[in-house]
Amino acid sequence: MPNGIWNKDTYLMDVSESDKKRAAMTFDMLEAIHKAVKNQPDKCIHIMDSKIKDNNKLHRKINLGISGGSGAVIVAAFEAVKAFIMK
């Protein structure tokens, strides 16, 4: 079979006459699957973008900051308020 060329003629090139009908149906089935799957990446990109957007909305509500310093400041402020109230 020639490199990189996949059409019905090259697929059926070495098939015997008795198996040609079955091989042709197999090629048609593979071609239909290829056409059905071809647009899946666009659907996957849309689904993943919406999942990322939802995930970002969830994490922004409880975000303590990217660096450890801002988180430490928030914890220290909480401890100071707690110590002041408990006094």
Mean per-residue pLDDT, 32-37: 80
| Pick from 32, 12, 31, 14: nearest CA to 22 | 12
- pLDDT at 2 > cutoff 60: no
Domain ranges of the chain: 8-38, 40-86
End-to-end CA distance of the chain: 85
- Please report the beta strands in the chain, taking only residues with DSSP state E, as ranges in sequence order: none
pLDDT tens, residue by residue, 43-73 = 777 888 888 888 877 766 655 555 666 777 7
pTM: 0.36
Compute the distance between CA of residue 66 and CA of residue 45 in angstroms, rounded to an integer. 26
pLDDT at 61: 62
| Pick from 69, 68, 52, 49: nearest CA to 60 | 52
Mean per-residue pLDDT, 22-26: 84
